[in-house]
Amino acid sequence: MATTTLTKAEDRTAVGHAARIAHVSKSFGGPEGRQLVLDDITLDVAPGEFVTLLGASGCGKSTLLNLVAGLDSPTAGSIETPGGRPALMFQEHALFPWLTAGKNVELALRLRGVPRSGRRAEAERLLGLVRLDGAYGKRVHELSGGMRQRVAMARALAQDSRLLLMDEPFAALDAITRDVLHDELTRIWRETGVSVLFVTHNVREAVRLAQRVVLLSSRPGRIAREWTVDIDQPRRIEDTAVAELSVEITEQLRGEIRRHGQH
């Protein structure tokens, strides 16, 4: 029987991993029977580590992220997040349009149990962390796409989780805005020490951001290969070392797509 454990360690410095995924499989039912989406996934994310999950569309990346987030349960295997429930950031910002930027962040603080008297100051601090000083009172419609994703990032950080799950959060942005937010995410990750599990289908994005790239195969999703990214941060997406490793990973990804008959 599958188990999902979401526990909070009293001393986070003593935790040996931010997430432990052990022999996880996931099936969904349908008119043609059960469909195996993930098969025997085993993966640890270390405290403070940045890991990207890479793979073709439909390989189960988002499904795995939802399982780690506790939004669904595995069919088999177990998932542990000793630092508490992870924070989750989606491709769409999912901000409440009737609230200001600051109030959207404050909502996460309220759900976390932060007293009302301290919420505004903390919301403003978090907005400053994502370079949105002075945006507390702005409505969602007054913000650009990139600014909305910054607010969403501040709201995720407001949950004070030691594990941040990100499901293609920059995919809908233009190239320049995405590039800027790559820099911002790298800075925030380094400043806060939060662990990040980041889903993408963009090979260059994976290599630019991560310390480790994990490639999933398709139908069903299995770990096909991992790469340690030994390139100094900060990185640029056009850096030679980033480009060279991206070519190697892309060739492996293409092989997985050919192997499973995807186009």
Residue pair 211/50 in contact (Cβ under 8 Å)? The answer is: yes
Tell me the C-alpha distance between 135 and 153, whole Å. 14
Go through 148-184 and write b for each residue having 16 or more CB atoms within 10 A of its CB, e for each that does not. bbbbbbbbbbbbebbbbbbbbbbeebeeebbbebbeb
Give the DSSP letter of residue 100: B
What residues does each domain of the chain span? 95-160
pLDDT at 83: 80
Residues of the chain scoring pLDDT < 50: 1-14, 263
Long-range contacts of 118-125 (CB under 8 A, 24+ apart): 122/158, 123/154, 123/158
* pLDDT for 6: 35
At 179, is the secondary structure helix, strand, or coil?
A: helix
pTM of the model: 0.87
pLDDT, residue 260, reads: 66
The pLDDT value recorded for residue 31 is 62
Residues 235, 236, 240, 244, CA torsion sign: positive
Give the three-state DSSP class for 7: coil
Distance from C-alpha of 220 to C-alpha of 123, rounded to nearest angstrom: 41
Q: What is the pLDDT of residue 9?
A: 32
Q: In the prediction, which pLDDT does 81 show?
A: 93
Q: Which pLDDT value is given to residue 234? A: 86
Give the pair of three-digit tokens for residue 96.
């409440």
Cβ contacts of 119 within 8 Å, gap of 6 or more: 106, 109, 110
Read off φ and ψ for residue 103, nearest 5 degrees.
-70, -30
Q: Where are the alpha helices (DSSP H) in the chain?
A: 61-69, 101-112, 116-129, 145-157, 175-192, 203-209, 240-259
pLDDT tens-place string over residues 24-44: 999 988 666 688 999 999 999
pLDDT at site 219: 79
Residue 173 Cα to chain centre, angstroms:
16
Q: Give the helix/strand (H/E) hosting 228.
A: strand 223-228
Residue 15: per-residue pLDDT: 57
Q: Considering only CA atoms, which of 68, 62, 76, 91 is closest in space to residue 18? A: 68
For residue 83, report the phi and psi dihedrals to the nearest 5 degrees.
-85, 5
pLDDT value for 261: 62
